[in-house]
Chains A and B, each alone.
Chain A
Amino acid sequence: MYKEICSKYAPTKDNLIYILHDIQDTHPQHYISEEAVDAVAKYLNVPPNHIYGVLTFYTMYSTSPRGKNIIRLCESPPCYIKGSENILRKMKVLLGVETGETTKDGLFTLELCACLGVCGNAPVMMINEDVYGDLTEEKVEEIIDKYRRAK
């Protein structure tokens, strides 16, 4: 599987970030396994520790399995000023997990992230590639419900 993904890109080191994104997005658990690291290292002809170094440098990559939907709540100052802490607390209660954890049903992983660039509508979160703004505790409940129903 990893070979197939790699072969979409030229075997040059500058494609590493793309390859890692692709592997992570394609994996049902949205993470990059040790086998994947080895496969990419072989393909690009660089040591696995280089891949691992890059992988752990960037916050969007994960080395452990995650849920189907990745929730990334913005923890930057404009969102903080508009009450993102309360939203985070509500999320933890709704999902029954702490930051960085995955729900038991494997549906959600709750993460915090740096600015999402939608500060005009703070507080903001991103679920997979969709952005939700002007969050309130009620709104968060509706959104999570929507994803639960869509499973």
Chain B
Amino acid sequence: MSLKRIDLLICCGSGCVSAGALKIKERFHTVLTEKGLQTEVNIIETGCMGPCDYGPVMVIYPEGIFYKTVTPEDVDEIVEEHFIKGRPVSRLMLKDEDKTIASQKEVPFYQKQVKVALANCGYIDPESLDEYIATGGYEALGMALTQMNPQGAIDVVKASGLRGRGGGGFPTHIKWQMVHDRKEDEKYIICNGDEGDPGAFMDRSLLEGDPHRILEGMMIAAYAIGASQGFFYIRAEYPLAIKRIRQAIEQAREIGLMGKNIFGTDFCFEAEVRTGAGAFVCGEETALIHSIEGNRGNPTPKPPYPAVSGLWGKPSVVNNVETFANIPTIFVKGAEWFASMGTATSKGTKVFALTGDIKNTGLVEVPMGITLREMIFDVGGGMVGGHKFKAVQLGGPSGGCLTVEHLDVPVDYESLKERGAMMGSGGVIVMNDSNCMVNVAKFFMEFCVEESCGKCSPCRIGLKQMYDILDRITSGNGKEGDIEELQRLGESVNKLSLCGLGQSAPNPVLSTIRYFRDEYESHIRDHSCGNKVCLDLMHFDIDKSRCIGCSLCARKCPVNCITGSREEKYTIHQLDCIKCGNCQDVCPVKAVDRIPGTHPEVKEQRAKQQAHNSHDD
């Protein structure tokens, strides 16, 4: 870190990059060179800062000014006004009602957050080992190697109460202890970076934003269990994360933090990266191990647990990325400090990915035990577009939906499980009152059907049966007894499946039936989707009294099924309509309505078709 007048931290997490952060960085380089300021301003590419919805974002030190939704066109003004004249550009700051928020510390999104795993994400240059060391990096590893024996290191983790952050919440120290106690010479430590839960992206952000922290956490674990070889299994969809971890391993090797006799002790360690190739089930630890070995990623029954027979039949520990990210801080700040946060059974903090119909989407880290209300409304800023909160899906396709009545439930492993949801990897998909829960359940089921590896029949066949019933219900062909059949199937799949994917896949369906049974019933009995989402159970119509005849809808219709004139107004030809909703989106006077129930013309046509061909899909 060279000493310069200004530190310009540009968030280059995948979210901000997808919104154009790299172009902004290039523009800064150009403008600063033009003005001869390149020696005064330090441009630092950081990992994810969290508030993806405001992206691209940046923070400028020493003041700590926070700019959001910056475009390349804004760069000249920032340089001219802020860097040269010392007048921060208030136009680019966050507005909260009438207040302009200049400093990052005052941004409401950060107020209730406590950053442990994410401490360096968005604060340091992830490609610089020096910056990691400057924030206290590798101190914990040095402490563990020189002041503790392996059992001592396990005891620290035990006292901290850390539980696996990947989904199951299994106490980390028990996994470590089991492998520590094995007598084999060869043991392996594996980092599970096969983050596949839709709506979760904390592992990606950690691997990309603070790779050395994950590596350090893994090395402490390796020392504790007696492993000298580690594997990072990272999904191939995350090329930047793969690059950063590889780079971190090389950097550590260059200065002797990897290889033989680390910190002058007997501890020797080598790590390497293995990638996936697109398979959700590889997040399951036995499947992941098979994938590293070069096989199909099919799970195998447990026992034997990986702790007994893991990679190449040797005792292995598989820990999640976020679990490793917590380890260094636990050692530096102490187990008591970590255990002082959270609830009786869930200690420390948890990173959540807020997505869906929420104002501040992004990555947040909060103490365990925070309520859903605080997380969704205080940190997440509440619902977008004046809509009402309806439900939240926790834990991705393995989790369940919770409703308004659960907003004051403390978020920890046990209280979520009691209510039919789960912590999972920490994906929080927030849904507003325009969502149809039957459709949402069907969507999650479709995901699980596609991702089922096909090895065991309850998951392979059971989930498909459940999907077919849901599809029948949402297309208006639901029958009495379908809900009970879904429940029966769901419970069987849950009890009989081989691995976690199958066991948890029915959760979204079972929890939506539990809390939104009335919606299922109205789909089945009234053939109507009250939220006007299920396309077969709703239609669009133009209210001629409001239509101004501007023809915009007709021009935007992809199938040309809207005709009319300024005088006669416009009409949708229901038989051709594909229900894309374009007409509703573009109508300047909001004359296009979504109407529950099938249009009579379509109903008639369907009845005819059914009579002609009973196999028509």
Contact = CB atoms under 8 A, between A and B. Distances in A.
A18 B276 CA distance: 9
Given A119-B201, A134-B19, A58 B297 contact: yes
A115 B199 contact: yes
Output the residue of A80, A89, A118, A126 with the most chain B CB within 10 A. A118
Given A58-B279, A77-B444, A117 B297 contact: no
B15 A118 contact: yes
Interface residues of B, number: 61
B318 interface: no
Interface stretch (B26-34, B160-168, B235-243, B481-489): B235-243
A80 B444 CA distance: 11
A54 B296 CA distance: 5
Contacts of B292: 14
A122 B19 contact: no
B355 A59 contact: no
A53 B429 CA distance: 35
A133 B17 CA distance: 9
B274 interface: yes
Contact of B355 (A17, A21, A120): A120
B447 A77 contact: yes
A113 interface: yes
A117 to B, nearest CB: 4
Nearest to A13: B294
Interface in A121-151: 121-122, 124, 126, 129, 131-134
B201 A120 contact: yes
Given A118-B15, A120-B52, A133-B19, A14 B293 contact: yes
Given A17-B291, A89-B558, A133-B15, A117 B274 contact: no
A43 interface: no
Interface residues on A, range: 35 or more
Contacts of B238: 117
Contacts of A61: 277-278
A54 B356 contact: no
Contacts of A20: 277
B148 interface: no
A81 interface: yes
Interface of B: 14-15, 17-19, 52-53, 55, 195-201, 203-204, 236-239, 274-280, 291-298, 353-357, 361-363, 393, 397, 427, 429, 431, 435, 440, 443-444, 447, 450-451, 453, 558, 580-582
Given A117-B200, A117-B204, 17 more contacts: A14-B274, A20-B277, A57-B279, A58-B278, A58-B297, A78-B199, A86-B581, A86-B582, A89-B558, A114-B278, A114-B450, A120-B53, A121-B19, A122-B361, A133-B15, A133-B55, A134-B19
28 contacts: A17-B277, A21-B277, A50-B295, A57-B297, A59-B278, A60-B236, A76-B199, A77-B443, A77-B444, A78-B199, A80-B443, A81-B356, A81-B429, A81-B431, A86-B581, A86-B582, A114-B196, A115-B198, A117-B238, A118-B14, A118-B15, A118-B18, A119-B353, A121-B52, A131-B18, A133-B19, A133-B55, A134-B18
Interface of A: 12-18, 20-21, 50, 53-54, 57-61, 76-78, 80-82, 86, 89, 93, 113-122, 124, 126, 129, 131-134
Q: What are the 4 closest A-B residue pairs judged by CB atoms, nearest first?
A: A120-B52, A133-B18, A76-B198, A58-B277
